[in-house]
A and B are shown apart, each in its own frame.
Chain A
């Protein structure tokens, strides 16, 4: 039963208005960037007086963006999959096993949420140069694994909370080995949460900037880093066009994920009462 009738009329109007205004604030820069991308003039101004698609053409032909996209794909593919494997293993171990240093291990792995990205980036840069190693993809991927792992852990923990342990017990009592239970019962039941975690990790890794700025080189420069370098060199709306592509793709991916997975469940924000 809702107690809606007890909420006075001004409150019932004020609530939605406030929410709408905040949503408008969140949307504003996103919408403005998409519109500015179609501006014909080479100067960044709003609103556009004449329209053009030429900046989109430049996005897809500018070599730094192509290389950056390529590097980002490599880094994202590896780091999101590694983070998923590491995170799932840890989440299962934390839920099912007692071991020494459990709390400490979890605290360290969650710490990149509060440790500044520039500190971690700087740390890896120093480490690599002191060990006289190459600043190749391995370092960038390792860095991204650290940064996206907390997000994977969150979504795997949430889906483990919703897992019915009796199904695993049933399999075990029917004679399945722990390994068989893990791969035939636990992992398939966790699949939506695992996919959600992987997706989050992938998008976060694809758009990570600050730490990447410290540890990438010309050869491993990810897309956000080449975007940053572009703004420092040019003032035309090319980056608005690239942002527009970014925004549309991201919003579509999230909408699809919401439709097929129910993001509310993955994110643990479903009203449970």
Chain B
């Protein structure tokens, strides 16, 4: 059935326009990252590489390393925590239980970074939930400092990525043909062995997708490191904001963004290769 070209154009042109806007926005950042900074204005000077040489300072390098570390830790932890949830979500048979798991695990996704992060502040603060509980139970005398720490930021970031990882893993697990599992069991494999040799390798597409997304989301997170880290857990995102809105040095903010984007892409390519290799090793 040949669609008329008018219909074709009306289906495609809005999407094409949005795609152009995305590209133009990214090109603006790219272009600005090579421009000289004119203090006190959004106007910029001539072409220069100075922004990128400025990035070679310990404050920026530390932020890069810290962001990378947070992203890797968050990705691994959220995979470990989300897998059992996704598995239960797909395999639990009682509808009420299934709905409860679904609603509870995806609600945080829709609350947005601010509500989630603020809620963690009430949990982690020195008069917060955790410290009060631990003190009442007599486990600690002095409040633990959880706010403004790497650990605090990490826990909140894992919480942010869980819903999306659960959804992606659940999609993959729901497409696994149960006959393979039954075949493994009828050949004498126990439940753990069946899981490790059949279910886990077959859910690799979901693992690959969720690793990519969890990594990128953590890299991109701003409110969580800013509010829970309070400046003591520097990340690329918090520095970009600071450079832009405190120093008004938008060219340097742009070059930091470009470097960050390059690092995200590099990390995703490496992670993708690694996961694909695991998939091959596990599948055969």
- Do B123 and A213 have beta carbons less than 8 Å apart? no
- Do B114 and A227 have beta carbons less than 8 Å apart? yes
Q: In the complex, how many angstroms separate the beta carbon of B215 from the nearest chain A beta carbon? A: 8
Cβ of A264 within 8 Å of any chain B Cβ, yes or no, is yes
A119-B257, A146-B22 known; A8-B115 Cβ under 8 A: no
- Do A115 and B26 have beta carbons less than 8 Å apart? yes
Contact pattern, A 33-75, Cβ under 8 Å of B = 1, otherwise 0? 1001000000111110000000000000000000000000000
Contact pattern, A 127-155, Cβ under 8 Å of B = 1, otherwise 0? 10110000000000010011001000000
The total of chain A residues at the interface (CB under 8 A) is 99
- Do A25 and B81 have beta carbons less than 8 Å apart? yes
- Do B18 and A210 have beta carbons less than 8 Å apart? no
Q: In the complex, how many angstroms separate the beta carbon of B37 from the nearest chain A beta carbon? A: 13
| Chain B hits for A27, CB < 8 A | 104
Cβ of B39 within 8 Å of any chain A Cβ, yes or no, is no
Considering only residues 191-205 of chain A, those with a C-beta below 8 Å from chain B are 203-204
Considering only residues 19-33 of chain B, those with a C-beta below 8 Å from chain A are 19, 21-29, 31-32
The total of chain B residues at the interface (CB under 8 A) is 102
| Chain B hits for A32, CB < 8 A | 119, 122-123, 128-129
| Chain A hits for B181, CB < 8 A | 3
Q: In the complex, how many angstroms separate the beta carbon of A224 from the nearest chain B beta carbon? A: 5
Q: In the complex, how many angstroms separate the beta carbon of A70 from the nearest chain B beta carbon? A: 17
| Chain A hits for B219, CB < 8 A | 116
Considering only residues 195-227 of chain B, those with a C-beta below 8 Å from chain A are 212-213, 216, 219-223, 227
Considering only residues 238-277 of chain B, those with a C-beta below 8 Å from chain A are 240-241, 244, 250, 253-254, 257, 260-261, 264, 268
- Do A263 and B102 have beta carbons less than 8 Å apart? yes
Q: List 26 A-B contacts (CB under 8 A).
A: A8-B191, A15-B88, A22-B81, A26-B85, A29-B119, A32-B129, A33-B119, A46-B123, A90-B11, A99-B12, A105-B19, A109-B19, A109-B22, A118-B257, A127-B25, A172-B1, A182-B7, A207-B110, A209-B112, A209-B223, A210-B113, A210-B222, A214-B241, A214-B244, A269-B171, A273-B179
Measured CB to CB, the residues of B under 8 A from A are: 1, 3-4, 7-8, 10-12, 14-16, 18-19, 21-29, 31-32, 42, 81-82, 84-85, 88-91, 98-99, 101-108, 110-116, 118-123, 125, 127-129, 132, 156, 159, 162-163, 167, 170-171, 174-179, 181-182, 185, 190-192, 212-213, 216, 219-223, 227, 236-237, 240-241, 244, 250, 253-254, 257, 260-261, 264, 268
